[in-house]
């Protein structure tokens, strides 16, 4: 894998993370959208005349960014898990998107030059051209020409074996994207269960009816972890289906072109 490819894989997720952080800092989370609003109502019902305390809590709620509140609500355990999960998703999505391209699997330049050399019966030059290529199509052509002296059946078997290996590598990398799409909602569901357990623990330990602010933490964790898990899983599933169909189309085209070009050696 060349250096520009690695730089793109690292740079894009990092840029998206920085952009998300900047946008979150400029988006204040108002008191009506966070659990501090619940705390204000609880304080207003329980105590009257604490105007300064309520104003301070309101000012704190207005100054608190949505990103900070989300991290605080999700908790110290699930926050790093979701950060790692999202970074892995972005990395896999970009890596597979760059890998599953026609120019990487079956370059048009290689195809035209290879056919031209075969038409001129310059088989050694065609073999060297295919061997020097890092593409899947080049490896298949090189394997076929290397075994052509043993007969077309042997060469065809070798080409099929190399094609299966190349397709397996691409599908194996793509399967990790499907794994992210499956695991992320489960992590969110686990956060939901943990949040609800915390909420019911507060209810069970309270001698009287608990304040709404005491229940807000567990409920916030339950809802946010579910939402974040789905926010990661849905794009991951979309990317997986798009890339899987794209790979299937390219593989079919590669198989057809290989049979068409190498079929001239049939006797």
Q: Name which residue leads in pLDDT, 152 or 60.
A: 152
Three-state DSSP class for residue 30: coil
DSSP assignment of 154-193 equals HHHHHHHHHHHHHHHHHHHHHHHHHHHHHHHHHHHHHHHH
Residue 65 backbone dihedrals phi, psi, to 5 degrees? -75, 160
52-56, 139-143, 194-198, 255-259: lowest mean pLDDT where?
A: 52-56
> What's the pLDDT at 66?
61
Q: Where are the domains of the chain?
A: 74-267
Q: How many CA atoms lie within 13 A of 90 on its CB side?
A: 16
The share of the chain scoring above pLDDT 90, in percent, equals 39
Q: What percent of the chain has pLDDT over 70?
A: 72
Among 37, 93, 69, CA closest to 238: 93
Crossing angle of the two packed helices 66-99 and 3-25, in degrees rounded to 10: 160
| Predicted pLDDT of residue 262 | 86
- Judge contact between 73 and 218, C-beta under 8 A: no
Region 223-242: mean pLDDT is: 92
- CB burial of residue 199 (10 Å; 0-12, 13-18, 19+): buried
Instruction: Give me the numbers of helices (H) and strands (E) for the chain, helices first please.
Output: 10, 0
Average pLDDT over residues 23-34: 38
pLDDT of residue 20: 42
- Of 57, 69, 59, the residue nearest 33 (C-alpha): 69
pLDDT for 6 beyond 80: no
The stretch 103-114 carries a mean pLDDT of 91
Mean pLDDT computed over 111-134? 90
- Mean of pLDDT over the chain: 77
Residues 6 or more apart whose CB falls under 8 angstroms from that of 27 comprise 65, 66, 67
pLDDT of residue 197: 84
Q: Given this model, what pLDDT does residue 67 score?
A: 65
Nearest to 240 by CA among 162, 189, 182, 193: 182
Kindly report the pTM of this predicted structure.
0.70
- The more confidently predicted of residues 223 and 232 is 232
The per-residue pLDDT for 65 is: 67
């Amino acid at each position: 894998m060349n250096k520009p490819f690695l730089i793109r894989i690292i740079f894009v997720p990092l840029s998206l993370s920085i952009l998300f952080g900047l946008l979150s800092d400029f988006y204040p989370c108002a008191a009506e959208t966070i659990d501090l609003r619940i705390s204000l109502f609880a304080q207003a019902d329980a105590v009257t005349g604490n105007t300064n305390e309520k104003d301070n809590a309101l000012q704190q709620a207005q100054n608190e960014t949505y990103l900070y509140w989300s991290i605080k609500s999700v908790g110290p355990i699930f926050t790093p898990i979701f950060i790692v999960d999202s970074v892995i998703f972005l990395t896999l999505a970009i890596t597979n998107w760059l890998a599953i391209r026609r120019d990487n699997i079956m370059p048009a330049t290689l195809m035209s030059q290879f056919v031209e050399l075969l038409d001129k019966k310059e088989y050694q030059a065609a073999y060297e051209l295919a061997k020097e290529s890092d593409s899947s199509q080049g490896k298949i052509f090189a394997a076929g020409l290397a075994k052509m002296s043993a007969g077309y059946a042997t060469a065809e078997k070798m080409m099929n074996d190399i094609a299966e290996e190349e397709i397996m590598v691409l599908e194996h990398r793509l399967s990790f994207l499907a794994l992210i799409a499956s695991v992320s909602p489960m992590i969110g569901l686990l956060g939901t269960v943990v949040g609800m357990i915390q909420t019911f623990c507060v209810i069970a330990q309270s001698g009287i009816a608990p304040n709404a602010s005491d229940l807000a933490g567990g409920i916030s964790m339950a809802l946010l972890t579910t939402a974040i898990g789905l926010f990661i899983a849905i794009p991951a599933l979309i990317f997986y289906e798009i890339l899987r169909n794209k790979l299937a189309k390219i593989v079919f085209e590669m198989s057809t072109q290989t049979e068409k070009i190498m079929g001239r050696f049939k006797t």
